[in-house]
Amino acid sequence: MVMTCIENLSNEIFYEIFDYLDGCDIYKAFSNLNHRFEKCLQCSSLRFKIKLDSSSSKIFMNYSKQVRLMNKHQILSLDLRSGLYIDEFLSTFIINSSFNYLESITLHFMEEYFLLSLLHHFIYLPRLLSLNVHADETLTDLSDVYRLGFALPILKYFKIKSEDWIVSWPFATTNQQFSTVKHLVIDHYCTFDHLATILSYTPHLCHLCFEHQSDHDSNVEIILPITLSNLTRISLKIIRSDYDEVIKFPKKISSKLKFLRLTSQSNDVIYLVSHLWERLILQHFPNLEKFYLKHFESIVYDNRSRNYLWQGNQFTSSFWIERQWIFHAEIYTDEIIYSIYPHKYNNKKIFSIKLILFPFF
């Protein structure tokens, strides 16, 4: 059996290994081994993905030291979680145009002033393509976060996660306000009128993910039609909203939609009326290729929920058969999960039921 020393591996193999490791771990493990590895770490084509978490002061101080030793042009991504140590670190470690290969930034729980200050600096990053912001719970209005994010010159992916969803800024009125963002993830509750405002800044949007929770989204009727000619994918999560209220907004969007995913948590069984989906898709989304629906319905023991289940065979019409979209139901003791999804297998089954019952104690 031939034994190979790890140092006999080529630099190219090490670079492939490094691609799966955190940049600080790479520096800690290899920077003081020998001259060869020191040269490897200084290679201009090597890029580091950095994650800094201030949960442990000793570990953080060690990692921040490693980051300071790196060449700024070698840093590909930064994942930063707020705290006493990270705030002190960033007060001296300025993120500016010298990070000329920095493509992705993730920020967790930054306080409002600190977060907005960082976002102001990001406009000078020449290659920033992806921004992921998990806002601190004290941030009550996301308008400035959206405004500064949309101002980044070549940003393509933008995600905002928050417990609040106030957006108090006007519609975009000039081309200078338009964003380059193509993939937008709105991971906070959002009314449709707020969403319409946000979308007015994203004419190049291709992929939209958002959540909606509002029992009375009364302004939907007055929202003007929105043209997003590049939009092909929508993923929508609905909390406690009726079908008739929810479906008004997608009708406002003029697009060439090919992918639609909808997750609903509601006891409105209208979500499961097949001919309404058929009409919506044929009239408003004729280019749709993939349709995913997951509808969670709590079981109220008045037989209403269970009785609807046996109407599932309406999803066997020619519309569903031609597209090979499957209807599936899973029955639990406290809820039923209804699903529609594209056919993935070679069998011809287009309607199925899975019964999962647990004994009562």
What does the domain layout of the chain look like in residue ranges? 49-342
Q: Concatenated DSSP letters for 110-165?
A: --HHHHHHHHHHHTT-TT--EEEEE--TT--B-HHHHHHHHTSTT--EEEEE-S--
- The pLDDT tens digits of the residues spanning 198-253 come to 999 999 999 999 988 765 555 666 677 788 899 999 999 988 777 887 887 888 88
pTM, full prediction = 0.86
As a whole number, mean pLDDT of residues 130-148 equals 88
Ramachandran assignment for 324, one of left (phi > 0), alpha (psi -120 to 50 degrees), beta (any other): left
If DSSP codes are grouped into helix, strand and coil, which group holds residue 80? strand
Query: Which CATH number does 49-342 carry?
Result: 3.80.10
Helices (H) and strands (E) in the chain, counts: 12, 15
Higher-confidence residue of 110 and 107: namely 107
Residue 196 pLDDT more than 80? Answer: yes
Residue 258 pLDDT more than 90? Answer: yes
Ranking 34-48, 50-64, 213-227, 317-331 by mean pLDDT, the lowest is 213-227
As a whole number, mean pLDDT of residues 71-86 equals 82
pLDDT of residue 219: 67
Residue 188 pLDDT more than 90? Answer: no
Higher-confidence residue of 28 and 234: namely 234
As a whole number, mean pLDDT of residues 344-360 equals 50
